Structure 1
Amino acid sequence: MKQFVNFVRKEFFHVMRDRKTLLILFGMPVAQILIFGFALTNEVKNSKLIVFDQAKDPASQELIAKIEASRYFEVERSVMNEQQMEAVFRQGEIKMAIVFPAGFNSGLLHEHHAQVQVIADASDPNTANMLSNYLSAIVMDYQSTRSKSLVLPYRIVPEVRMLYNPQLKGAPNFVPGVMALVLMLVCVMMTAISIVKEKETGTMEVLLVSPFKPILVIISKTVPYLILSLVNVASILLLSVFVLELPVNGSVLLLFGESVLFIITCLTVGIFISVKTDSQQVAMLISLMGMLLPTVLFSGFMFPIENMPYPLQLFSNVVPAKWFYIIVKSIMIKGLGFEAIWKETLILAGITVVLLVISLKSFKIRLS
């Protein structure tokens, strides 16, 4: 046991004196959580909008003010005719326009009916569709406000509730995904490189012929990254709560416990890669490309898995980040307990056991 503790201390000293490693371990999580939390979001905010108001009556002015008060649009300017509006769209700085016909207020008062035209730049169809929905929702809300004093026959008003994320912020989706991405990259890459480095320098063979057991050699190489990864988890959660204003609705202790399991899974993947490679460059390449792309594509936080072809949906089941992403969302966002995530926990544990057994067998055969 004393030998094991000394070896772990040696690994800690090795990591702490390497500034590049420290930058990867602690700088990358902070940078990614800030970038994903603020820059990369599925929300569209502060989009520039122009107004073509042919009515210039109280109703159109009220609706324009309501649009301008929302966080989704900035009323850039008003245009006087269709030619000016088309010219502004051609410049590429405007994504949306709203056109009020003449007699807009009169139609609302006397006919209880009026129309507005919403024009969007559909060169980016997703953004155009999203902005159109935002603007339509504002118009419908204005209509509902005016219609309270009116009696309309057979009027059905749907009441929409957004559970867990009523403001439709991007952080509740990206923070769990960033946690999975950071832990996967850091744990897998650092573990694979550290073990392969021992093989390249020839010190791994020396350790294996010593009284120190091979399994303890592997564990002692991974313990420092387990502890440092937990520090990363804590820093991500602190940034989420105090910077992104995303509270942890479930048990923090359960979240850390599941994070430990996922970190161990990632460390096992790193061990597996180190067993199958003989150089640090190859190990780094496999760790980055082999883990980054599956985590981004098949974890579910960037692209919906349900929209993928069925073979790719099946493949996503072997990506550990998918299950950890579900676990973090269930605990952190939905506030659920272990009874809601026990299946995902068992899957992660199963992946860990299978990879560990394969790695240990390959490791002994390779260096014996």
Structure 2
Amino acid sequence: MRQFIAFVKKEFFHVLRDRRTLLILFGMPLAQILIFGFALTNEIKNAQVVVIDHARDDASRHIINRLAASSYFEVRENVMDKNRMEAAFKEGHIKLAVVFPARFQSDLNHQNHAQIQVIADASDPNGATTLTGYVSSIIQDYQTELNEGNGLPYRITPEVRMLYNPQLKGAPNFVPGVMALVLMLVSVMMTAISIVREKETGTMEVLLVSPFKPMWVILAKAVPYLLLSLVNVLSILSMSVWVLDLPVAGNWLLLFAESTLFIITCLTLGIFISIRAKSQQVAMLISLMGMLLPTMMFSGFMFPIENMPVPLQIFANIVPAKWFYIIVKSIMIKGVGLEGIWRETLILCGITLFFFVISLKSFKIRLE
């Protein structure tokens, strides 16, 4: 046991004196959580919108004030002619225009029906759809207030309720995915070059002639990166709560335990790559390209797995990040306990055991 502790200390000293390794371990997770949390989001805020108000009555002013009060829009002008509006669209200065007809309130009072023209820049189809949805929702709220006490017979009004994320923020979707991505990349990449580095520097020969068993060599390589990755988990969760305003709805201890399990899964995968690779460059390339793309494409946080062809859905089942993403969303967003994630937990345990056994069997006690 003293030999094992001494080997772990040696690994710690090697990591802590390498500034590039520290930058990858702690700098990359913080940068990614900030980038994904603030930049890569499906929300649209402060969109430039202009209003052409030909009516200039109380009803149009009420709706304009609601648009201006919303965090989704920034009303630049409330009076603009058609030519200036078209020029603003072409130059990319505005994303949306709302046009009120001349007799808007009169039509609403006497005919119980009035029209509002909403013009969106559809060069970005997703953005245009989102913005027009925001406007429609604001107008619908105003219409609901007008109809209070004046309900029409047989009128059916759907009531929409968004569970777990009523404000439709992007952070509840991206933070669990970023956790899976960061922990996968850091844990796999750092351990993938560990044993290869020992081979290239010649220190592996010293280990092989020592009474140190191969299993203890693998564990000693993994322990420092396990502890450092746990620090990353704490930093990501802290930033999620205090910076991105995303509190943890479930049990913190359970989330921490599941994160530890996923880190161990990634470490065993990294050790396997390190044993099979011939050089540090090859190990790093495999860990980056072989883990980055499957994690982003088949974990479910960027692209819905259900929309993929059946062969790709089957392939996604062997990607550990998919199961961890489900676990984190269930605990952080839905507040689910172990009874709701036991199947995903068992799958991660199985993947971990599989790669650990293969790594142990593949570890060669003789250098070629």
User: How does the TM-score come out when normalised to structure 2?
Assistant: 0.97
State the AA in 2 paired with 1:185: L
State the superposition RMSD in angstroms.
Answer: 1.3
What CA deviation, in whole Å up to 9, does each residue of 1:318-339 have, x standing for no partner? 1100100000010111100001
Distance of 1:320 and 1:14 partners within structure 2: 28
Partner of 2:284: 284
Correspondence 1:27 to 2:27: yes
Which SS does the other structure have where 2:49 is aligned? Answer: strand
> Structure 1: how far apart are the matches of 2:86 and 2:335?
49
For 2:103, the aligned partner's letter is G
Change in Cα spacing, 1:20 to 1:80, as seen in structure 2 (3 Å) is: closer
Letter in 1 for 2:204: M
Q: Which moved more, 1:280-289 or 1:81-90?
A: 81-90
Q: Is the 8 A contact 1:79 1:85 kept in 2?
A: no
Conserved in 2, the CA contact under 8 Å of 1:323 and 1:344? yes
Alignment partners' CA distance in 1, 2:157 and 2:151: 13
Q: Secondary structure at the match of 1:68?
A: helix
Shift of 1:355: 1.4
Match for residue 122 of structure 1?
Answer: 122
> Counterpart in 2 of 1:74?
74
Contact 1:8 / 1:223 at 8 angstroms: preserved in 2?
yes
Q: Deviations over 1:64-122 (max 9, x none)?
A: 11111111111111344322221111111211111111110001111111111111111
Of 47-56 and 145-154, the range deviating more from structure 2 = 145-154
Partners of 2:139 and 2:67 in 1: how far apart? 8
Once residues 79 and 242 of structure 1 are traced to their aligned partners in structure 2, the CA distance between those partners, rounded to angstroms, is 40
Aligned to 2:258: 258
Tell me the amino acid that sits aligned with residue 190 of structure 1. M
Give 2:264's aligned amino acid: I
> Structure 1 residue 367: deviation in Å?
4.3
1:153 corresponds to 2:153:
yes
Distance 1:147 1:35 in 2: 43
Distance 1:124 1:86 in 2: 16
Letter in 1 for 2:82: E
Aligned pairs for 1:1-368 within 5 A: 1-364=1-364, 367=367
Secondary structure of 1:77's match?
coil
Count, aligned residues: 368
Q: Tell me the CA shift for residue 26 of structure 1.
A: 0.9
Identity of aligned residues (%): 73
Secondary structure at the residue paired with 2:212?
coil
Q: Where does structure 1 lack aligned partners over 5 or more consecutive residues?
A: none
Instruction: Return the letter of the residue paired with 2:145.
Output: T
Q: Which amino acid aligns with 1:307?
A: N
**Corresponding residue SS for 1:36:** helix
Higher mean alpha-carbon deviation, 219-228 vs 192-201, is at 192-201
Q: 1:208-264: CA deviations, max 9, x gaps?
A: 221000110111011000000001001111111111111111111111111111001
Note closer, same or farther for the CA distance 1:366–1:248 as it changes in structure 2 (3 Å cut): farther
Structure 1 counterpart of 2:314, which letter?
Answer: L
CA contact (8 A) 2:208 2:365 kept: no
Could you list the runs of 5+ residues in structure 2 that have no partner in the other structure? none
Alignment deviations for residues 137-184 of structure 1 (CA, whole Å, 9 cap, x no partner): 111011111111323222211111111111111111111111111100
Structure 1 residues 240-249 or 226-235, which shifts more?
240-249
Structure 2 contact 214–365 (Cα < 8 Å) conserved: no
Following TM superposition, by how much is the alpha carbon of 1:53 offset from its aligned partner in structure 2, in angstroms?
1.3
Report the Cα distance in structure 2 between the residues aligned to 1:78 and 1:87, rounded to whole angstroms.
Answer: 16
Aligned AA for 1:167?
Q
Indicate the SS of the match to 2:246: coil
Structure 1 distance, partners of 2:106, 2:363, is 82
Offset of residue 365 of structure 1: 7.2
Letter in 2 for 1:12: F
- SS in structure 1 opposite 2:183? helix
**Partner SS state of residue 364, structure 1:** coil
- Residue 157 of structure 1 aligns to a residue in which SS? coil
Tell me the distance in 2 between the aligned counterparts of 1:222 and 1:94: 53
**2 CA distance for matches of 1:98 and 1:310?**
43
> 1:202, CA displacement in angstroms?
2.1
